[in-house]
Amino acid sequence: MVIRFSSRFRQAYKSLPRFVKEKALEKENIFRKDPFDSRLNTHKLHGKYKNYWSFTVVGQYRIMFTFNNKKFIDFVDVGTHEIYK
């Protein structure tokens, strides 16, 4: 599995508080081993984001992603629930 980071994700990541960045790296390592590990609270999104999934970083911070195929996963955005608006 290869994780690709969109430019939107990269830009949003830069503006995150340091403690969130640290947690995001921890959760990414868990995600790489098992995207559905219970510590991630991975869930499918609905409505206009029905083709996307999300997992919890810490508190209200989430990473939104999509499965492109068996080889690629694209991290689309990161942030609070505001990323869904």
pLDDT digits (tens, 9 = 90+) for 11-40: 999 999 999 999 999 999 999 999 999 999
Query: Which architecture characterizes domain 2-84 according to CATH?
Result: 2-Layer Sandwich (3.30)
Q: In angstroms, rounded to a whole number, what is the distance separating the alpha carbons of residues 21 and 25?
A: 6
Please give the DSSP secondary-structure letter assigned to residue 26: H
Q: Using CA atoms, how far apart are residues 43 and 11, in angstroms rounded to an integer?
A: 23
Q: What is the value of pTM for the model shown?
A: 0.93
pLDDT at 80: 95
Q: 39-66 pLDDT, tens per residue?
A: 999 999 999 999 999 999 999 999 999 9
In the chain the first and final C-alpha atoms are separated, in Å, by 28
> In sequence order, which ranges of 1-85 are alpha helices (DSSP H)?
7-14, 18-33
Strand order from edge to edge, sheet including 72-79? 2-5, 72-79, 61-67, 53-58, 43-44
